[in-house]
Structure 1
Amino acid sequence: MTAPPRGADLLARALRRAGVETVFSLSGNHVMPVYDALYTEKLGLVHTRHEGAAVHMADAHARLTGRVAVALVTGGPGHANAVSALYTAYMSESPVVLLSGHAPLNQLGRGAFQEMDQVAMARPVVKQAWAASDPAAIAQDFARACRLALSGRPGPVHLSLPTDVLEAPAAGAALPDAAEFQARPMPLSGDAAHDLLARLRQARRPLILAGPQGLTDSGRRAVQRLQDACGMPVIATESPRGGNDPALGAFAPLLAQADCVLLLGKRLDFTLGFGKAPAFADGCVFLQADADEDEFRRSTEAVGDRLRARARSDFHSAAAALADAAAVGGSRRMEADWPERVRSGIAYRPEAWRQAVAATAAGAADAAKPAPLHPAALCAAVQPLLDSHPDAVLVVDGGEFGQWAQACLHAPHRVINGAAGAIGAALPMAIGAKHVYPDAPVVALMGDGTFGFHCAELDTALRCRAPILCVVGNDARWNAEYQIQLRSYGAGRAIGCELLPSRYDRVAAAFGGHGEHVDKAADLPAALARAAQSGLPACVNVALDGLPAPVVRRPS
């Protein structure tokens, strides 16, 4: 007689029905029943070296695919390690589901092994969190988690899995229909779309600002369609620096000239100076289409009656409805050169950067002279790798070097650390990206501080055959914090930001990967080529000039 399925078996079957093919995980006592069930269902398993890395991998996978990605960790300290990484996913609106093992329900309050209130710990950095309580309902729990993660403003969801729920029989339980795992659209009505568009058309310098959803693959297509339809600038941003994001060139002064701004799934938060000067003109008015009612309250608190109209809708539904409404046509007062001014401002990069690249190339002939590279010159050497494949992925972390990379590099697909501003995610994110685009180059640029967070995941990359390429800009310090100290306190009071000029390339080689060390500009192109062609997880460790992050200002 066949034994009835356990809660863990139903969960694994639900994962398959949801379309999950790979689970990013670090093992532990509490989740062994799930591992056993994954084996039966033949689902892929990427076994990491740190729980936070598993979440970062799932985060990158979710952003690139637009589908739910799953991280699975054990309870107690394993769960605690994973939670900090959820904040990066939360601020980037990434549909990650974190499944955490949990102490048995029948032992709670009695000092169970690794017992803690995991739901309360996760709640501040997820859309919702709860613990499963019934083995027969665990598939429905997972379907609900997927649906919540994808619906409205996407974001992470947490589900704790008590071991007795995983191990208990769940005879007679049925799997949810496939539709139960999908997003619930929140459409924007035609009347609301026409009203928002009519208000924008009365402006001289209108802007539509989208949040992180506008920079996913599907989001970029939605942004382009809307811009083509309405003729107004539509700008997406996911940086904590907002309008001062170096990837947006000299956009900040143009943002301050806007007289009407539609926030399309974009929070009016610190990244936009809370809607006040100097980020915006005092007379600028705002419109808002958002899935979260609470965002309207926050916007009203920030700008008062300058919030002139609001409508509830998810980003994709609103963008589509606005594009459809724009197709009808209508008169507008927009200054004729406004779209081109915005476009050219975003495209602008200082001539000094090109001169630095040229000077580096000219000096490269002196191969006997080691010298730290200018960040723009390092990026110029990396760009051909990203141009070599139609699905190349650029992964960039934070920090000063990360800002240079975001400003100087472009690729068909991009993942950054996002508005959270937390560093350390780039290496595991690159592994997650490689599982989405296994045949394309995945290049992760990071500082030496970042590399130290998750360098052991090079072992994970080797085991799961993910030949990512890490380019480490090594300036031997925590440069972002060092630059703050210089600005705020002076060079004489800089303290605690020094690192060693360590040979991170040798770390990669010790794990079985490929390592290259570069301290002369002439050696960089060949080192990058060897690393890319090695077929192994690789680290190119580059001696970098520790410059502050770029601030792009166009000459007046």
Structure 2
Amino acid sequence: MDSAKHAGDAAVAVSKAYGIETMFTLSGGHVFPLYDGAVHEDMRILDVRHEQSAVFAAEATARLTRRPGLAVLTAGPGITNGVSGVATAHFNGSPVVVLGGRAPRARWGSGALQEMDHPPLFETITKLAFTAGSAESIGQDVESAFRTAIAPHRGPVFLDFYMDDLFSPAPAHRVETLTPSPLEPDTDRLAEIARLIAEAERPVLVLGSDVWMERAEEAARDFAEEWRLPVIPNGQGRGLLPAGHDLLVTRARGTAFGQADLVIVAGAPLDFRLGYGWFGGKDGAPLAKVVHIADAPSQLATHVGTAASAAGDLSLTFWGLSAACATAKVDPGRYAPWLARLAETAAAAIAGDAPLLAAEADPIHPMRIYGELAKVLADDAVVIGDGGDFVSYAGKYVEPARPGCWLDPGPYGCLGTGLGYAIAARLARPSSQVVLLLGDGAAGFSLMDVDSLVRHRLPVVMICGNNGIWGLEKHPMQMLYGYDVAAELQPQCRYDQVVTALGGGGELVTSPDEIGPALQRAFDSGVPYLVNIATDPAIAYPRNTTGI
């Protein structure tokens, strides 16, 4: 059409051109024209019970589909409720566009309902935060938002509209180019990295979330397999090499990072999850040389010295690096004993865990839950973690069989992502199992959105590790002070009854031999179902202080 009924039509038409299939929202009058536009464009509208869940669902959609996600938030508190979701998208590099309402231009400055200048709130956690210039420019402004969100390095964009502009007539906008041109890596830098690999005796390759988000999983796996590099995945890099792969040495992580002489980190920041980029130095080993590979120059580490770095499209980078390794005459036989040693260490760790994965302890050891879950998880299951100690066990013991099947909050560590992520996962993977792992603390942030799962007929299996405490806080406080405060929750709280009251199913499990049958009932139920498992509050996930 040459002209839109109102600017909401133009905004939604552009969104649809960028692959948006679902608008996540919580109803508000400031954004009614966007809903009307979605109806005209036959775009699904999925409404939730808290705006944070709308943004988390949009973010998970982006991370699972590798296309942009869209959240629509009404003015004022609707938008401020979404800030943590936008911050999470920022730290995860997720291409999310958040469209917001705004008090009318004609009343601006006179104290209209929910009048607030939103973009300044988002300036530090978005690639771009701005207000549409006019009704006529809204189509172009929305395109600018999407184009910015998907350009390397991906990330969230916030755009709000004056209410009277959004209700006004506006011209249709034709979208010309959807895909940004790939950034070519510097071949000299790739040659330097290849030289370091050729000289190494104990190399490790870390594959992070951006490898998945960049659709570089095939190139990364081919590179690792061709040059026989031991691999440790990070974030959504999990599953890039499937469970059981002979190069996957996740369970030898401490030895690998502590004794490596070269660590190549691709598609992940050198943050606390990777010891801030400091590797080696364990048991007399010297510090390792570090190579950082990113999808954009802005993502290369500046807080720690690196031996080499490269930025560019990650598929092109892995292909180019493989060619450079051939030129440098890299010999995998040089570090084959290192790979064998790591594989042996990983196998020993796995064998050592077997008793706890089948533990008959009462109260229940959290590891027993993961032992039972492994028996019923399909290869294409999407596993979502939202919690502290309980989900830390998942990070260690749930090894995805395929890429794109793991979601956690990422480095921002925001609790409450779970229900929004579960909503998105069920839409993105309609035929796969969707499993949400909840700590009992995290459950308190978003469990009301089970109502959204029920209303929209989205079956999800939820497993709550219920130890009745804030485990990440209670145990450290006890260690530091000999006491703890503000760390208690209600023991065996019936979160399952919350789910059944909202129209789903659930049950409380207090005995280890009940876990397996309860999980099977959950998967067979065809409804949102919460298995509420009482775990031992004395068990703390074993952590170190190095980040590695």
Query: What's the TM-score once normalised by structure 1's chain length?
Result: 0.87
Q: Give the Å deviation of 1:552.
A: 9.1
Q: Give the Å deviation of 1:348.
A: 5.3
Match of 1:515 in 2: 506
Once the two structures are superposed, residues 138-185 of structure 1 have per-residue CA deviations (whole angstroms, 9 ceiling, x without a partner) of 2222222222222222222222222222122223x43212x33x3342
The residue type equivalent to 1:309 in the other structure is: A
Matching of residues 163-242 of structure 1 within 5 Å: 163-171=163-171, 173-177=172-176, 179-180=177-178, 182-214=179-211, 218-238=215-235
Match of 1:142 in 2: 142
Matching of residues 279-358 of structure 1 within 5 Å: 283-296=287-300, 298-299=301-302, 301-303=303-305, 307-326=306-325, 330-332=329-331, 334-345=334-345, 349=349, 351=351, 353-358=353-358
Q: Distance in 2 between matches of 1:345 and 1:55?
A: 41
Match of 1:273 in 2: 275
Q: Give the Å deviation of 1:448.
A: 0.7
Change (3 A) 1:67 1:342: farther
Once the two structures are superposed, residues 306-336 of structure 1 have per-residue CA deviations (whole angstroms, 9 ceiling, x without a partner) of x233333143432343245446671448422
Once the two structures are superposed, residues 240-291 of structure 1 have per-residue CA deviations (whole angstroms, 9 ceiling, x without a partner) of xxxxxxx932312321222233332332233333334677866432333334
SS in 2 for 1:136: coil
The answer to whether the 8 A contact 2:4-2:10 is kept is: no
SS in 2 for 1:135: coil
Match of 1:443 in 2: 435
Match of 1:426 in 2: 418
Change (3 A) 1:410 1:265: closer
Match of 1:524 in 2: 515
Once the two structures are superposed, residues 309-366 of structure 1 have per-residue CA deviations (whole angstroms, 9 ceiling, x without a partner) of 3333143432343245446671448422223334454565365532123342xx7xxx
Match of 1:487 in 2: 479
RMSD across aligned C-alpha pairs, in angstroms? Answer: 2.7
The residue type equivalent to 1:508 in the other structure is: V
Query: What's the TM-score once normalised by structure 2's chain length?
Result: 0.89
The answer to whether the 8 A contact 2:357-2:370 is kept is: no
Matching of residues 241-256 of structure 1 within 5 Å: 248-256=250-258
Q: Distance in 2 between matches of 1:442 and 1:345?
A: 32
Match of 1:367 in 2: none
Q: Distance in 2 between matches of 1:151 and 1:96?
A: 12
Q: Distance in 1 between matches of 2:522 and 2:468?
A: 22
Matching of residues 446-485 of structure 1 within 5 Å: 446-485=438-477
Q: Distance in 2 between matches of 1:345 and 1:93?
A: 33
Q: Distance in 1 between matches of 2:369 and 2:227?
A: 38
The residue type equivalent to 2:488 in the other structure is: E
Report whether the alignment pairs 1:261 with 2:263. Answer: yes
Match of 1:383 in 2: 374
Q: Distance in 2 between matches of 1:480 and 1:185?
A: 41
Q: Distance in 1 between matches of 2:32 and 2:415?
A: 31
Change (3 A) 1:427 1:279: farther
Change (3 A) 1:392 1:283: closer
Q: Distance in 2 between matches of 1:469 and 1:2?
A: 46
The residue type equivalent to 2:124 in the other structure is: P
Change (3 A) 1:345 1:83: farther
The residue type equivalent to 2:197 in the other structure is: L
Match of 2:399 in 1: 410
| Unmatched 5+ stretches in structure 1 | 240-246, 364-370
| Unmatched 5+ stretches in structure 2 | 237-248
Match of 1:499 in 2: 489
Q: Distance in 2 between matches of 1:456 and 1:176?
A: 38
Structure 1 stretch 227-236 or stretch 211-220: which is displaced more?
Answer: 211-220
Pick from 390, 393, 398 the counterpart of residue 401 of structure 1: 390
Once the two structures are superposed, residues 517-546 of structure 1 have per-residue CA deviations (whole angstroms, 9 ceiling, x without a partner) of 111122222221222111111111111113
Q: Give the Å deviation of 1:292.
A: 4.2
Change (3 A) 1:279 1:102: farther
Q: Give the Å deviation of 1:210.
A: 3.4
Matching of residues 40-119 of structure 1 within 5 Å: 40-119=40-119
SS in 1 for 2:392: helix
Match of 1:131 in 2: 131
The answer to whether the 8 A contact 2:261-2:286 is kept is: no
Q: Distance in 1 between matches of 2:8 and 2:49?
A: 23
Equivalent pairs, count: 525
Match of 2:158 in 1: 158
Q: Give the Å deviation of 1:40.
A: 1.0
The answer to whether the 8 A contact 2:198-2:325 is kept is: no
Q: Distance in 2 between matches of 1:34 and 1:324?
A: 49
Structure 1 stretch 333-342 or stretch 458-467: which is displaced more?
Answer: 333-342
Once the two structures are superposed, residues 398-424 of structure 1 have per-residue CA deviations (whole angstroms, 9 ceiling, x without a partner) of 300001122122333111121112222
Q: Give the Å deviation of 1:92.
A: 1.9
Match of 2:241 in 1: none
The residue type equivalent to 1:199 in the other structure is: L
Once the two structures are superposed, residues 357-403 of structure 1 have per-residue CA deviations (whole angstroms, 9 ceiling, x without a partner) of 3342xx7xxxxxxx32111111111123313xx42111112300001
Q: Distance in 1 between matches of 2:349 and 2:416?
A: 27
Change (3 A) 1:294 1:331: closer
Once the two structures are superposed, residues 88-145 of structure 1 have per-residue CA deviations (whole angstroms, 9 ceiling, x without a partner) of 2222222211112122334333323212221111122222221211333322222222
The answer to whether the 8 A contact 1:404-1:550 is kept is: no
Change (3 A) 1:478 1:9: same
Match of 2:239 in 1: none
Q: Give the Å deviation of 1:76.
A: 0.9
Q: Distance in 1 between matches of 2:51 and 2:507?
A: 28
Change (3 A) 1:119 1:78: same
Q: Give the Å deviation of 1:50.
A: 0.5
The residue type equivalent to 1:399 in the other structure is: G
Change (3 A) 1:519 1:279: farther
Q: Distance in 1 between matches of 2:347 and 2:153?
A: 29
SS in 2 for 1:113: coil
The residue type equivalent to 1:285 in the other structure is: K
SS in 1 for 2:493: coil
SS in 2 for 1:310: strand
Structure 1 stretch 131-140 or stretch 346-355: which is displaced more?
Answer: 346-355
The answer to whether the 8 A contact 1:248-1:347 is kept is: no
Structure 1 stretch 192-201 or stretch 476-485: which is displaced more?
Answer: 192-201
The residue type equivalent to 2:458 in the other structure is: A
